[in-house]
Structure 1
Amino acid sequence: MTDTTTHAEPTTDAQGGPAATGERADLLAMLDKHRHFLRLTTHDLTDEQAGRRSTVSELCLGGLIKHVTAVERGWVDFILEGPSALGDFDAMTDADFARRADEFRLLPGETLAGVLAGYADVARRTDELVAVLPDLDASHPLPKAPWFESGARWSARRVLLHVIAETAQHAGHADIVREALDGAKSMG
């Protein structure tokens, strides 16, 4: 006999928020995988180690976490608010560029635990939004910037794919920084 009972999808996630299903669950699972690898590169580090540059670049592990947090927050704001959420790149001042550069550093008074907690908050917000967003095809025009195609629009889906790619790319950077720091590898 064939079981024809339908099984309802879960309606809440582990934190009691709405659960994503289907394509949304797939997107979030991939994002969570790369978030995990990024966070893993900071395992058992002190604040001093998380702020140390281990290559000739400006990158440090705490700074990479801060940057990915800011990127994810900004793109989720874009999904909700449109291009104004990302700012006017033509109007950026030297001070604005300096603040962006500080995203890549663990500044005095900042801790690894603090930046990881901030990242967890942003991740939770993203996950909750993706679960309830009415339409992944909803789009906004991209703001004018030299790195965006003129007149382009990005859907919520495209934004999520971009956040996944950005997170994966920086998880790779973090793996290199960590290995140069103390020989530890997150993948291998």
Structure 2
Amino acid sequence: MNETSNNTVIDERSDILETLAKHRHFLRFTTRDLTDEQAGQRTTASELCLGGLIKHVTSTERNWADFIQRGPAAMGDFKNMTEADFAKRADDFRMLPGDTLAGVLAAYEEVAAATDKLVADLPDLNASHPLPEAPWFEPGARWSARRVLLHIIAETAQHSGHADIIRESLDGAKSMG
């Protein structure tokens, strides 16, 4: 049976997109009415800031969407990462000179639109790739496109919660409640 003609799969894609949209909204909402300086401010014991969280979620979503399309080659070589590679990854968690909140949010919107198109156009949510070798992945594991999309949702939701705490610590504003 062609997957796109199957109502269950169509509903599943709609559910994935709707859930992603909801969590993306809450993450973006934490930055409402902030300056670039506030978006880069640390407000907890953590190194995290709101702009950096959005940069991280953007990078994570982009990389996992690329994994769906290209497999483990899209993720890079985790076994041979250098200190410079780790430093570059750490930059995803902070606002750097020249970063603006508007720019960070625009990049996130671009990635979100590309992921949404990918979800709509994927011929098969069951298509899978082996995960790259990394200490944090189970050796020999494979993830389907569906599993990757669920991971993107989980990452977005988790960091949306982090963002809510950071924002509340910044100026008392809350996303909910």
TM-score range, shorter chain: over 0.9
Structure 2 length normalisation: TM-score?
0.94
Displaced runs of 4 or more, over 3 A = none
Corresponding residue of 1:13? none
Aligned to 2:34: 45
* C-alpha distance in structure 1 between counterparts of 2:105 and 2:132, whole Å: 29
When the two chains are superposed, the root-mean-square deviation of aligned CA atoms in Å is 1.2
The Cα of 1:123 is off from its aligned counterpart by: 0.2
Rounded to whole Å, the distance in 2 between the matches of 1:102 and 1:132 is 32
Which of 62, 78, 81 is matched with 1:89 structurally? 78
| Ranges in structure 1 where 5+ consecutive residues have no aligned partner | 1-8, 10-19
C-alpha displacement at 1:21, in angstroms?
3.5
Q: Is 1:107 matched up with 2:96?
A: yes
Larger Rg over CA atoms: 1
What amino acid is aligned across from residue 59 of structure 1 in structure 2? L
**Partners of 2:30 and 2:64 in 1: CA distance:** 23
So what's the TM-score if we normalise by structure 1?
0.89
* Structure ranking higher in helix proportion: 2
Shift of 1:59: 0.2
Q: C-alpha separation between the residues in 2 aligned to 1:148 and 1:187?
A: 34
Is the counterpart of residue 70 in structure 1 residue 20 in structure 2? no
User: Residue 136 of structure 1: which of 96, 109, 125 is its match?
Assistant: 125
Measured against aligned partners, the alpha-carbon deviations of 1:127-163 in whole angstroms (never above 9, x if no partner) come to: 0010010000000000001111110000000000000
1:184 aligns with 2:173: yes
Q: What is the number of residues matched between the two proteins?
A: 170
Residue 159 (structure 1) aligned to one of 148, 151, 175? 148
Deviation sequence 1:48-73 (CA, Å, 0-9, x none): 00000001111000000000000000
Distance 2:119 2:52 in 1: 26
Which of these residues, 7, 11, 15, is aligned with residue 26 of structure 1? 15
Distance 2:99 2:12 in 1: 36
- Structure 2 residues not aligned, in runs of 5+: none
In structure 2, what is the Cα distance between the partners aligned to 1:90 and 1:149?
14
The aligned residue for residue 54 of structure 1 is 43
SS of equivalent residue, structure 2 residue 94: coil
